[in-house]
Structure formats: C-alpha cells, structure tokens
Structure 1
Amino acid sequence: MKRSAIAVAAAVFVAAVLPSLAVAAPADNLQKLQSFKPTGTAPPEKVPQTGKNADAIEQNLKAIKLPQGFKIELYAIVPEARHMAVEPSTGVVFVGTRKNRVWQVTDRTKRRVADDVVQFASSVTFKVPNGVCFSPDGILYVAEQNRVLAFPAAQFFGEGGPDVAAGVVVPQGKLVPAEFESFNHGARACRVGPDKMLYIALGQPWNVPPKDKMAAMNKSGVSGIIRIGQDGKNREVYALGIRNSVGLDFNPADKTLWFTDNQVDGMGDDQPPGELNRATKAGQNFGFPWYGGGKVRTTEYKDAQIPKDVEFPVVEYAPHAADLGMSFYTGKMFPAKYQGGVFAAEHGSWNRTTPIGARIVYTAVNKDGTAGATEVFAEGWLTPNGEYMGRPVDVQQLQDGSLLVSDDFAGAIYRISYSGAK
C-alpha cells in the first residue's frame, strides 16, 4: 500500500470519526497529530534484536516444556512487553507496557522472527498503555490507565517516525473517575466485539474495596467491563463484580465474552482460585467483592447481601497464579484438540509461600459453548528453586496459526509453533 493511499485512508478516518472524538490538550501533541502536523519529536527508540541478552533468553527457552510436536523460539526483544495486538492485514504486532511506551514489532521477511522493534507514536505521552487491540478494519486502540486513543493505519504511519494519525476516544481522566485512578490494578485490557463496540476491563484499585465506594464503582463500571462505541459514544457498563480482569476475548463460535480475573490476596496459599469467566449477555454480576474468587467468601463482605444470580467462573485456575491475557485459538496449525479453545497466560504468584504459575494453560471449549478440561500447555519459566526466568503476560495468534507469548520480566516475545504429526 503506497503512502499516499495510506494518507487518504487516514484522512477519511479523520473526517468521518475524529470530529466526533474529544480534543486533547496541546501539550500532548494530539491536536497536531489529528491535523497531520509534525511535532518536532526526536526519532523513536529502536531495540537491538541480537546480543548477549537475546542469546541468554534463547538459552533459557531450552527449559520450557511443551506437548510433543511443539517448539518455542524467541520472536522479539521487547522491553516490558505486556499485551499484544496483531494487525489483521500485515501481521505487524503492537505491544503495550505498564510504563510509557508502545512498541511496533515487524517481521518484514516472514521468517517468523522480528526484524524491527521500534517505539510507536513516540510523540504521544502515554501513561500505562497496557491495553492494545485492533478493530477488524485496522484501527489500533490503546487503552491507557485513564484514556483511550485510536490510531488508523498504525502499522504504516509508525514506520515513518514519531508522528502518526491519532484520535482521542476517551479523553485523559475520563475512563475512570479520579478517585479510582491508581497504580494498583491500573493496567487495562481491550477488545473490539462482534457488535463493533470497544470493550475495556477496568480493575478497581483495592484488594477488597470499601463498602462506601461500591455505588460509585458500579456507576462508572470500575470493577467491571464497559463497552463504548469506537467513536467514544454510547458508553455503558457491560459486566460487574470483577476484581481485576487483564485479559478478555470473544468466542467466535457463539460471540460470548470470556475473561480472566485476578482474585483476592491475603487469604492463604491455597485460596481463592483464579478465574476464567463467560459473559453471555449484558448486565451480569460475577460476584466480587462478596466472593474473593470462585465460591470463597471474603471476610469483609461475609455478612453482606449477595446480588441475585451471581455468575461463577467456568474454570477455577490455581490460586494466586495471576491469570492475565487470554485468546481463543482460531488457527489451523495446532492439532484439532486445540482448535476453538482458550489459551491463557499465568504471570506467576507473588502472594504465596511457594510461587506458582509463570506458564501457559489451555482450556478446551465444548460445542455448546461451555468450558471443558484445563491443562498446562507450556511451563518452565519458574525454576524448581522458585526463581522466575520469565513471566508470561499475554497470548495472541499470528496469521500462520502460531502463538505469540509476551513476557514483561525477560522483556521478550516468544513464538510457539507446531510441526509434529497432525
């Protein structure tokens, strides 16, 4: 696609969508970017893909255990790599962080390894741009701690330097009320749903919230999942009773929304369980803070009246494994056993005497849309003596059907492929 054609396509987006979006403060460069004006920002940071660090990570990957026929390789060195979004037409991968950078990862030769890792939109001042997701028509959304931005033709504009076409879907400070903005549970996750709405998970800032904050949280969708038009309009609360979800995806078979949830700390090594949940309609409540995880009641709300029709998790994961990013597998590379199921990343525990997690788990999904058995798919980032060599955050599928795994501890993305007998 020629750059002139890209500019025309982006101009169409700007003319059709950006006028209805909010105007940002000039200091953030977004007004200039919305008008296709240069900002004078220095060239973006580039990340070397070879050297001692890459060699050490490749060596560590030899300890990862996978089912027969699978292999794992280093795909890219990406500092603080968190959630990923794969551009639908080119396979360029955009990677969020919990710091102030978004990365653009490009495999130009389709050798299934990154050729370039470059800071994306370096003229924009990001704050915890963890959540990245694409619409089917190729618009990149970045869900920050308290703002949502849109970037049309991101994979092309990002190659040209620090300045990109940009729009503001939710202005700074308007995603969550100021009283709920916190470094704790401030990493967002997002997906564009089958209804073309943007779904964003909003973690609440406490371990267990005070009772006098519940009404305000429910009103704004904090401790839940909201959905909003891609133009920033028609915001509504989709689901409540969620402590801190940092992973969601839609089942392509029945369009239901599935999401992980991190559960209450300080309740002991072996409770409560982590969660994989399934939302079948708007307005459901998933039980937090009355339940700390699964059906384990919290001390703080043990005598409080429980909402009607609480939805319990479809899968109870291991306690304190910190389940984060998840995706339905829609590819054909992996054996039939894995097709249509859920891969989820367990970041690894901190609030447990003996750490657990730092692995990828797989859950089968039955034809009726219910969850089947769950098993460990990839492990070995947690050594026998309790040291982390890596901490998986997210799982996303490349166009060839292989699986990418991000790791914010090692600062890397891995690629899992299958070449065994099918």
Structure 2
Amino acid sequence: MQKTRLSASGAGLLALGLLAGLSAPAFAQEQAMDKLKSMRVSGIDPNLPLIPQTGKNADAIKENLKRVKMPAGFAIDLYAIVPDARHMAVAPSTNMLFVGTRKSSVWAVTNRNSGDAATEVKQFAPSLKFTQPNGVCWTKDGFLIVAEHNRILSFPAAEFFYEGADVAVSEVVPQGKLIPVEDESYNHGARVCRVGKDGMLYVALGQPFNVPPREKLKAFTEQGIGGIIRLDPFTGAKREVYASGIRNSVGIEFNPKNNDLWFTDNQTDGMGDEIPSGEINRATKKGQFFGYPYIQGKTRITEYGYDKDPVPANTTNPEVYTEAHAADLGLTFYTGDKFPAKYRGGIFSAQHGSWNRTTPIGARILFTSLKADGSADKTEVFADGWLDPKTRQYRGRPVDVANLPDGSILVSDDFAGAIYRITYTGI
C-alpha cells in the first residue's frame, strides 16, 4: 500500500484551513466586538425588526391574566410581548427597559407614548452574539451591564443609543474569564447583577452541580462560584468574593434604606417534594457564609457525606424559608408610593415554579414585609394563578420583578414570553 505524505507547508495550510473553518463564528464575533469597541459600524441593517405586540398571542396572554388573583384594588395587564423575558433593567432616564434572556438576545423595550403598555420591542446590539445574557443592571452613571454565562459587557448610554444595530461596548470581563472554562455548564449558568452604593458590580455565580463534589469546594470558594462576587464595573479589577455558601442565586437586590444585599437561593434537587426549603437571604457585610453545601433551608445535605460534617459556626441563616422547589428567582424592594402603605419598602419576589415535584408549586409573586431593624417580618402570596390547579400546567412562569417610576411594578415571564404591569387602582 502506498502511503501519502503531506509536505510541511501543505500540512500547515490544511491545518489553517480546518482551524479557520472551525473558528469562523468565533472569529466573526471578535471582529464585531473589535468594530463596536472602536466605534465603527458593523454592517448590520440598522432597521431592526419589531416584535408584534398585538394578535392572537397577545390576546391569549391577556385572557390568561384574568386567572391571576391578587389583593383587592390591584390590577395586572400585559405590558409587552418579549420572547424569553428574564431579568429586567429599567432605564434611569428614559421610558424604556432592557430585558435579558437565557438564550442569545437582549431586548430593548420602549414605551414611546408614556401609556399603559410598551409600544415597541426589538433586539439590542444584534451584531454581538450573546451567550445566556440573563443579567442586566445599571451603573450610577447610566452604563448598561450585561452579565452572560462567562463574560460581562458594558454599554455606555445604552438607553440613548440602542436604536440601531451598532452600540458602543467594552469588556468588563472577557469571554472565559468570569469562571474557569472547564466549569462552564448548561446547569446554573444564568447570572444576575447589581451595582451597589459603593460603585462596585455584584454578580451571583451559581455552581454547576446539583451538589458540588468535595474536591471542587476549595477552588469554587476562591473563585466565588456558589457565591456572590464584586468587582469594578468598568475594568473588572478589584475582584473579590463578597458572600459564599450559596447554591444558585438568580435574584439579588440592595435594600435602598440600609444597603443590605438580599438574594434568593435555589434548592437541591432529588431530596423529595418538601425539602429543602427555599431561601431568601440577607448579607449585611462582606465575608458572610450561608451554609451550602452543608445545609440548605433547615435540611442537611446528604450527598458526599456533607451531613456528617458540623455546620460551620459562622453560617448565616435565611431570612425567609419558602416552600421547597418553587424556584425563587428575581426580587425587588418596592420604592414607589402608589401601593398601600404596607407594601412600601417591602420585597416583591418571583417564584418561577417547580419542575421536579410530584405536585407542581410556585409560578407566583410573594411579598415580604420588613421589621424596623431591616430583617424579614411576614411573607405572603401576593399574585397567584399562572399554574392551573386542574391540569397542573403552567400558563406563565414569573422570573423577575422591577419598579417603574410611576409606582407600578413589572413582572417578567419567560414561559409566556411577556412582561406584565401591576398597578393599584383602589378598592
């Protein structure tokens, strides 16, 4: 049999050709990023298509909202059709907001006539390929932060320069530098972010396991995986771990009264319908440990023998224990003055709904009042009805809650692909 030999130059050309073919999408993205960072046009059509806001889909969502029950005097309406709508960042100066997803789009939602609903929804920065751009938040001076699975981007004056495909952008944390690439996973990859009064960017990093193996604990703790990190929102410098002992938080928010950082935590799967309890936690200072993987809620974690270890003495207990597997996600403090007094300064939080319970639970909005010392008082169901009790099917799955300047609140829903507006109309 005759052997075919390839010259060194030929082999090199073949290798380069294969490499170019394999990395073409990544190379194109690098080119797009370089162009936008240099304030150059990308060549993408600036006439971005709009998401239809009327029709059968909108009518069906409005019909489903009739099933949602709330306290007397409150009303809920469709605000916008937004595919895969997850976490929201309401613009500080204009009547619009940005909405993240767990897919590849960030949406710009605009209300041009200051009416009861948005007037247009279109893709933000379509020349960039996002990867799970779930987390969106603002700096004090109007930079939009987008926290992806393994990258953080910053967009100056995004609310004023979102109309076309090209926007100014900078990399706060380059691709592959938020967490080690080998720890990327389809599990727990949705990030959330907020900027604190200290000007630092806070980002929650869910750990990629149902329960982390013991050999991963040291590295995860050092990197902030299974915790909340903070860093400079413009350069990514001064990164440090702010809180640890968290399984997977997909909702963080500062209390504007005292700057305490509150966050939800999602439960360990496979332990049964009723355990572990869900959590809403409060971090009052840097360095607090919240128990995971030794304990979650009030339940010891048995996998890898964590229940045989003593619970660390410095563990901070949850402020609120919620029903197991309801999937507590986004939360916000009500800052408006249109709702009755009992709701002012309290927490509205979203439960996405269970996926692994014998009897489904969740798909609702909770309200938690606070005591004078800033700790949690009482938690109650505020809005319920997206989970059909007869069919056990979801008609919607709330993800996040946000304040509008007019005193109403918004609720995002990634199942229905919508954002709702809740107002108080009086009794």
TM-score over 0.5 for the alignment? yes
For residue 331 of structure 2, what is the amino acid of its counterpart?
A: M
For residue 395 of structure 2, what is the amino acid of its counterpart?
A: M
| Distance of 1:134 and 1:399 partners within structure 2 | 15
For residue 221 of structure 1, what is the amino acid of its counterpart?
A: G
For residue 356 of structure 2, what is the amino acid of its counterpart?
A: N
| Distance of 2:408 and 2:73 partners within structure 1 | 13
Q: Which moved more, 1:92-101 or 1:134-143?
A: 134-143
Q: Does structure 1 residue 361 correspond to structure 2 residue 370?
A: no
Alignment-derived partner of residue 421 in structure 2: 415
Alignment-derived partner of residue 210 in structure 2: 207
Q: Does structure 1 residue 40 correspond to structure 2 residue 46?
A: no
Contact 2:29 2:129 in 1 (8 A): no
1:284 pairs, out of 285, 288, 294, with 288
| Distance of 1:150 and 1:298 partners within structure 2 | 38
Q: Which moved more, 1:81-90 or 1:33-42?
A: 33-42
Q: State the 1:401 CA deviation.
A: 1.1
1:147 pairs, out of 151, 157, 172, with 151
Q: State the 1:26 CA deviation.
A: 6.6
Q: Does structure 1 residue 327 correspond to structure 2 residue 329?
A: no
Q: State the 1:304 CA deviation.
A: 2.4
Q: Does structure 1 residue 64 correspond to structure 2 residue 68?
A: yes
| Distance of 1:112 and 1:233 partners within structure 2 | 41
| Distance of 2:298 and 2:60 partners within structure 1 | 42
Aligned ranges 1:270-419 → 2 under 5 Å: 270-291=274-295, 293-300=296-303, 301-385=306-390, 386-419=392-425
Alignment-derived partner of residue 16 in structure 1: none
- Say which SS state the counterpart of residue 276 (structure 2) adopts: coil
For residue 233 of structure 2, what is the amino acid of its counterpart?
A: Q
Aligned pairs, how many? Answer: 396
Contact 1:25 1:31 in 2 (8 A): no
1:257-308 Cα deviation digits (max 9, x unpaired): 00000011111111111000000100111001001x2120011211124323
Aligned ranges 1:189-200 → 2 under 5 Å: 189-200=192-203
| Distance of 1:194 and 1:61 partners within structure 2 | 36
Alignment-derived partner of residue 181 in structure 1: 184
| Distance of 1:218 and 1:25 partners within structure 2 | 33
| Distance of 1:372 and 1:138 partners within structure 2 | 34
- Say which SS state the counterpart of residue 157 (structure 1) adopts: coil
Q: Does structure 1 residue 52 correspond to structure 2 residue 56?
A: yes
| Distance of 1:200 and 1:298 partners within structure 2 | 25
Q: For residues 241 and 102 of structure 1, do their structure 2 counterparts lie closer, same or farther at Cα, with a shift above 3 Å needed? A: same
Alignment-derived partner of residue 162 in structure 1: 165
Give the TM-score of the pair, scaled to structure 1: 0.92
1:105-136 Cα deviation digits (max 9, x unpaired): 00011102010101000011100000000122
Contact 1:26 1:32 in 2 (8 A): no
Q: State the 1:25 CA deviation.
A: 6.9
Q: State the 1:320 CA deviation.
A: 0.5
Aligned ranges 1:246-285 → 2 under 5 Å: 246-285=250-289
- Say which SS state the counterpart of residue 79 (structure 2) adopts: strand
Aligned ranges 1:87-98 → 2 under 5 Å: 87-98=91-102
| Distance of 1:64 and 1:93 partners within structure 2 | 24
- Say which SS state the counterpart of residue 155 (structure 1) adopts: coil
For residue 329 of structure 1, what is the amino acid of its counterpart?
A: Y
Alignment-derived partner of residue 136 in structure 1: 140
Contact 2:250 2:330 in 1 (8 A): yes
Instruction: Give unpaired runs (5+ residues) of structure 1.
Output: 1-23
| Distance of 2:67 and 2:418 partners within structure 1 | 16
For residue 418 of structure 1, what is the amino acid of its counterpart?
A: Y
| Distance of 1:58 and 1:408 partners within structure 2 | 15
1:77 pairs, out of 68, 81, 91, with 81
1:151-198 Cα deviation digits (max 9, x unpaired): 111122111x11001111000001111122111000000000111100
Q: State the 1:99 CA deviation.
A: 0.3
For residue 121 of structure 1, what is the amino acid of its counterpart?
A: A
Contact 2:95 2:114 in 1 (8 A): no
| Distance of 1:91 and 1:270 partners within structure 2 | 42
Aligned ranges 1:11-22 → 2 under 5 Å: none
For residue 152 of structure 1, what is the amino acid of its counterpart?
A: P
For residue 125 of structure 1, what is the amino acid of its counterpart?
A: K
Q: State the 1:27 CA deviation.
A: 3.0
Alignment-derived partner of residue 4 in structure 1: none
Contact 2:251 2:329 in 1 (8 A): yes
Q: Which of the pair has more CA radius of gyration?
A: 2
- Say which SS state the counterpart of residue 426 (structure 2) adopts: coil
1:192-228 Cα deviation digits (max 9, x unpaired): 0111100000000111010000011011000000000
Alignment-derived partner of residue 172 in structure 1: 175
Alignment-derived partner of residue 118 in structure 1: 122
| Distance of 1:72 and 1:244 partners within structure 2 | 29
| Distance of 1:178 and 1:216 partners within structure 2 | 13
| Distance of 1:98 and 1:230 partners within structure 2 | 21
